[in-house]
Amino acid sequence: MVLAKIFMTLVAQHFKNTLGPAVLKTEERQGQEILTVSPEHLRAVVTSLKVELGFNLLLDIVAIDWQSHVQPRFEVDYLFYKIEGAKRVTLKVPVADGEDPQLNSITDIFSSADWAEREVFDMMGIRFHGHPNLKRLLLWTDFIGHPLRKDYPIQKRQPIPVLDDIV
């Protein structure tokens, strides 16, 4: 635990030294480090996490719709893991508000981000710049809207789709 603590302060320290304005806030929850990163510096931080600090696994990308509780409305969380030593780091990225929230893609750094970003786009409607194939992952092509946004009407039904090609 002590070692983990030392390691984590190292992560925060690393970013303070190298990418000063990138990290807006650092917090620690249940032994895990959570960094709030500004969207402009996301790619630099992720590259640094992978290359310099050895976080070699992107576990998941999660999007949150805070509605009016938090500004800006959308937040995208990146969950990273380092296999050597079992370390975890979470990046929180606030995404600019509006009907068409956008963020830079990290698919060229972590290829596992491909489907994760597609899912986030599918469910939350966040566009990722530089994604090679940003189309719906789970829902069908003709679906209108993004159902995990809190303002999507829960009773809304859409026409039954025609049989799509599975591949």
Partner 1 sequence: MMDSEKNSTVHEIPTDLFGDTILTTRVQDVINWGRKNSLWPMPYGTACCAIEFMGVVSAAFDISRFGAELVRFSPRQSDLLLVMGTINYKQAPVLKKIYEQMCEPKWVVAVGACASSGGFYNNYSVLQGIDEVVPVDVYVPGCPPRPEQVLDAIVKLQKKIDPKSFVDGLG
Contact residues: partner 1, CB under 8 A? 139-140, 147, 152, 154-158, 160-164
First to last CA, the chain: 46
Which residue, 33 or 122, has its beta carbon nearer to partner 1?
A: 122
3-class secondary structure, 40: helix
Closest distance of CB 155 from partner 1, Å:
8
d(CA 22, CA 33): 15
- Residue bearing tokens 């949150």: 64
d(CA 92, CA 77): 5
Which residue, 39 or 147, has its beta carbon nearer to partner 1?
A: 147
Task: Kindly state the DSSP code that residue 5 receives in the 8-state scheme.
Answer: H
Which residue, 85 or 159, has its beta carbon nearer to partner 1?
A: 159
Closest distance of CB 161 from partner 1, Å:
6
Closest distance of CB 77 from partner 1, Å:
23
Supply the angle between the helices 42-51 and 2-18 in degrees, to the nearest 10: 130
Which residue, 1 or 160, has its beta carbon nearer to partner 1?
A: 160
Closest distance of CB 13 from partner 1, Å:
44
